Amino acid sequence: MTGTADLALVALGGLGEFGRNVLWLSFEGSNVVVDAGVSFPDETFPGIDRIAPDLSPLRDVRIDAILLTHGHEDHVGSLPLLAEWCRAPVYSLPFTIALARRRLEEASVPVERLVEARRGEPIRAGAFTFTFFRVSHSVPDSAAILIEAGGWRLLHSGDFKLDADPPDGETTDVEGLTAAAAAGIVPASPAPLMPRGLSGDGVSRWSISTLGTSEAYGIRKSMNEALSSWPLSS
């Protein structure tokens, strides 16, 4: 499903690297941030334990919500830095919220804006509506997030694994995701994004566009084949 106006995506980290996952979505003056993580340096950074993303482009932006896909440090580790000056509510599933609360308390940052989301129930913030769906991963309460704004419907998969029998029993909500997809989701990737160039803060900005017909068909075909062979949980 395509929208009538541009939906801008700004990756402040997490592309072409492991960690520092931060995705900024903007639509007609409304903004949400998905994840706020850190990365873990290798031996070329002696004495450095973690590397945080540059969050300064968000300082002059009205952020309506922060969404967390799951509780790993590469997705929540820089939340205390963002929460020092950003007072937007933070939404996620209960276990992720518990981990986020601990991180904020350790940094002596207020935790009253943490909000537990319910699986499959839409939440409205600014121009955006978002819905959390359970996915299987190596930490409980991991989620994919359906994000809607101005006619656009995007699915942020979060981190997931294809495991029909995970140790913690947290199977992927295939039924919920299938129902969400049936209503229409824009297939998108970095390739079809239309560059707006580098801004003064050195951040690449894009407007999202739909994939070409052949590309979209191929992605849909692959996803349908994968879902048809996937055992549904009871």
- Which residues share a beta bridge with 206? 9, 195
What pLDDT, on a 0 to 100 scale, did the predictor assign at position 222? Answer: 62
Residue 15 covered by a domain? yes
What pLDDT, on a 0 to 100 scale, did the predictor assign at position 2? Answer: 52
Coil, helix or strand at residue 115: strand
Residue 3 covered by a domain? no
User: What CATH number does the domain containing 220 carry?
Assistant: 3.60.15.10
Q: Which residue ranges of the chain lie beneath pLDDT 50? A: 188-216, 233-234
Measured CA to CA, the distance from residue 122 to residue 134 in angstroms comes to 14
The domain of 47 spans: 8-228
- Block residue for tokens 């590309």: 215
Residue 133 covered by a domain? yes
- Domains contained in the chain, number: 1
What pLDDT, on a 0 to 100 scale, did the predictor assign at position 189? Answer: 41
**Number of neighbours of residue 230 by Cβ within 10 angstroms:** 14
What pLDDT, on a 0 to 100 scale, did the predictor assign at position 14? Answer: 83
Residue 99 covered by a domain? yes
pTM: 0.79
DSSP state string for 150-200: TTEEEEE--S----SS-TT-----HHHHHHHHHT------TTT-EEEEE-T
How far the first Cα of the chain sits from its last, in Å, is 30
Q: What is the pLDDT of residues 56-105, one digit of tens each?
A: 999 999 999 999 999 999 999 999 999 999 999 999 999 999 999 999 99
| Edge-to-edge strand ranges of the sheet holding 90-92 | 114-116, 90-92, 65-67, 30-34, 22-27, 8-13, 204-207, 194-198
What pLDDT, on a 0 to 100 scale, did the predictor assign at position 55? Answer: 93
Q: Are strands 22-27 and 30-34 parallel, antiparallel or unpaired?
A: antiparallel
Residue 233 covered by a domain? no
Residue 234 covered by a domain? no
- Which residues share a beta bridge with 198? 204
Residue 1 covered by a domain? no
